[in-house]
Amino acid sequence: MSAALNCNICFIGGGNMAQALIGGLISRGLPATRITVSDPIEKVRALLAEKEINVTGENSAAIQDADIVVLAVKPQVLAQVLQPLKGLVNNKLIISIVAGAEIATLSALLGTERIVRVMPNTPALVQTGAHGLYANASVETSDRELASQVLASTGLTIWVDSEAQIDAVTAVSGSGPAYFFYMMESMIRAGKNLGLDEKVATALTLQTALGAAQMAITSSNTPAELRKNVTSPNGTTQAALEVFDRAQISQNIQAALAAAQKRSQELAQELSESSKSSV
């Protein structure tokens, strides 16, 4: 983390994910005075200013002294935000957490290839994120390390070998929290139907989800082996899993993630075409 702690970091956009990264960086020792955030919303700027973070509504001013620029804007305003910065970021590392924004699109808008693309996920808000990162061959090892340090402040960082794999990351971890929330919702509802108070069903479900994840993370066994270990022959768990199998839950999950990947690809194409038409 030492290299990143010596950098000035600018965030274009000060929304939830940017604030999560900022909080993680400060907790790792980056002085708030080394962080600048540009955001058009006065309330966002005021909130960040209370933490001694430099704030502005002018993107070009924000990036002036930055070593690293984190793009954290909504995809629909990407071209509008980046076009005025073209030619101003050539000596800076760009880290983009903009959903669907391919490196070619960002490079065309900014005029630089020193770009790392990141697919984060919302558990970064509680420092347990899972981030997929990709950079092309023009990005040096030192820049990759800097990007890893910035993202590692809020969770796990995984580099993928091709930009196409970012769509798979989106399907697995980017959208993944919603899948687990969906499962939690269903288990809580089932618990209520079985006679449990809603608070009891919720507490049991959430703690079970946390415990299962922690076991999977810390165990030397695979999730499949852990499942087998808690499934006694002809027991209650087997009865439940047989219902899952009859409903082809595993196949449906695989189909769902394939649909998410396809939609990620479509959104990237739509954003690319929209950005080209704006140039």
Residue ranges of the chain whose pLDDT lies below 70: 1, 278-279
> What is the model's pLDDT at position 278?
67
Each residue of 110-154: pLDDT tens digit? 999 999 999 999 999 999 999 999 999 889 999 999 999 999 999
> What is the model's pLDDT at position 279?
59
User: What pTM was estimated for this model as a whole?
Assistant: 0.91
> What is the model's pLDDT at position 4?
83
> What is the model's pLDDT at position 275?
81
Contact 188, 198 (CB under 8 A): yes
Tokens of 3: 């290299």
DSSP letter for 51, please: T
> What is the model's pLDDT at position 138?
87
> What is the model's pLDDT at position 5?
77
Each residue of 229-266: pLDDT tens digit? 999 999 999 999 999 999 999 999 999 999 999 999 99
Give the start-end residues of each E strand in the chain. 9-12, 35-38, 54-56, 68-71, 93-96, 115-119, 129-134, 155-159
Tokens of 180: 């687990």
